[in-house]
Structure 1
């Protein structure tokens, strides 16, 4: 992801591929509404396959592996062609073999899409710990190394070819409140340092609602010698269930002031108003601090993102 300069905080956001069998219209509507803020890039998420059981005519059940949101590479290409903006597909370990990842890299290189966000990804819904796919990677650092090898022309199976004329550049994820599987913040930062040493050009954070935690995180990274840009990731609150779902799912805390205001909300409409107000406050403080960019997680929150950006960009 290209970031802003010292005088300008860039705007970026991510979209989800449509559900299997659905069209691109809703994604285009979201992008159309947010292009007015001149996004420096648009991220496209990637999702692992899930196991489903389909009943057959004889009454037996067939086990199937299905990607409910396929097409990340194709969607990145379509958005790049339609909007002439940098697209940044997510490349994940979860649910993919190294061979499948290599195929994605080949396609993306052909398409001229050379900026990536490399992630381990979530564990499967039926797993209590992350289990890599057969022939896949257990950690994002292994994914970084595969991309580095690919840039140098080193493919799987010992195949060696010409290094890429335009190599992939990539960012990685950072967690101001610690990855939920990390033993502590120290080990989490050591893993992050390894990914930066491997070649990550920037860090995009998990969502947070307390800017002080982002600032403390960046300060800690700088003390550790990590000097790449750290892009804050924000998600507007939109529904009543966010008060429990977000802390539980993403292992983040709400600051007490936000928690008190959330307790006053009686409807999703109330939460959306609070989300916009809090988001504006967060963005203004982050921009005043000179952050390189602000990245919005827009799932089910595109309209709120538009309102926040209208007030701050």
Structure 2
């Protein structure tokens, strides 16, 4: 697979919780829009928590910005009929990219007997709904992304199982994958080696978070079951000011992202946590080359 002329660039956003958060989010959106990303992903909580807020954000992104949203969709805890209606609503509303995820079920809830248990089944359902809208899509396709894991998934017995799951997602019709967070440059390199040897051919985009908040790092490390580098943790904890901590974290993030790009990564996905400053610092330091800005007529 030949490398792209320009690395892909994307960000993750989540719906605001209140009016103040909404104002802050839209400041972030406008700043990130200036970098001309290829897409922005829009997430929501487990089992559809705050899905309505996610739909509101998707509508505004489509109506008020130049950004192309990638809508998260989880299947756990949702019936097949409801998922079909959600997918249909997304496509009908103008969404052309969906990130198909299993998701985490709320505590105490068992699987829906009429539901879709895994991401590969969700992908097939998306393709089924898509097939019924061929005319509206001008014979095009919905771009379907999936999650990949540079370190072992917490529910997986081993990394080999993770690769088998990724292969199943590709076989079901996935177009690309985005990794969950990782903290060591070798993590991404090993994932790519395992995946390609197993026959995975879809692009795998490294998902990177700005490593500037010890509180956030501690929480994500616990959720993902991945240890943060002790030396980085010591430097962050030892920073005397917020500015120094941000510089340390941005430098570590740039090192992580640059290593992945040097390993042939097709692009970079930044988990922003609805904040733009650190993400833009990372981009400035990386000097990630973007395609020239041009109108449609000029490119035809």
Shorter-chain TM-score bucket reads 0.7 to 0.9
Show the counterpart of 2:207.
233
SS at match of 2:78: coil
> Does structure 1 residue 276 correspond to structure 2 residue 250?
yes
- Greater Cα offset, 284-293 or 161-170: 161-170
**Structure 1 segment 121-140 matched on structure 2, within 5 A:** 121-124=103-106, 126-127=107-108, 131-133=110-112, 135-140=114-119
Show the counterpart of 1:252.
226
Show the counterpart of 1:64.
none
Higher strand share: 1
Show the counterpart of 1:44.
42
Query: What displacement does 1:301 show?
Result: 4.1
Show the counterpart of 1:87.
69
> Does structure 1 residue 309 correspond to structure 2 residue 283?
yes
With normalisation by structure 2, the TM-score equals 0.85
CA RMSD of aligned residues (A): 2.7
Query: What displacement does 1:300 show?
Result: 5.2
SS at match of 2:189: helix
Say if 1:275 and 1:132 are closer, same or farther in 2 by CA, change over 3 A.
farther
Show the counterpart of 1:60.
none
Unaligned regions of 5+ residues in structure 1, if any?
51-66, 155-160
Say if 1:235 and 1:305 are closer, same or farther in 2 by CA, change over 3 A.
same
Query: What displacement does 1:294 show?
Result: 0.3
With normalisation by structure 1, the TM-score equals 0.81
Indicate which of 192, 209, 217 corresponds to 2:183: 209
Higher helix share: 2
Task: Please give the per-residue CA displacement for 1:218-259, whole angstroms capped at 9, x wherever unaligned.
Answer: 011000010110000001123332453221112222234424
Unaligned regions of 5+ residues in structure 2, if any?
289-300
CA distance in 2, matches of 1:173, 1:298: 17
Q: What is the aligned residue count?
A: 285
Task: Please give the per-residue CA displacement for 1:90-139, whole angstroms capped at 9, x wherever unaligned.
Answer: 01113432222212211222223121100011232x34xx7334532221
Say if 1:133 and 1:237 are closer, same or farther in 2 by CA, change over 3 A.
farther
Query: What displacement does 1:148 show?
Result: 2.0
Say if 1:300 and 1:39 are closer, same or farther in 2 by CA, change over 3 A.
closer
Say if 1:95 and 1:267 are closer, same or farther in 2 by CA, change over 3 A.
farther
Say if 1:242 and 1:20 are closer, same or farther in 2 by CA, change over 3 A.
closer
- Greater Cα offset, 111-120 or 70-79: 70-79
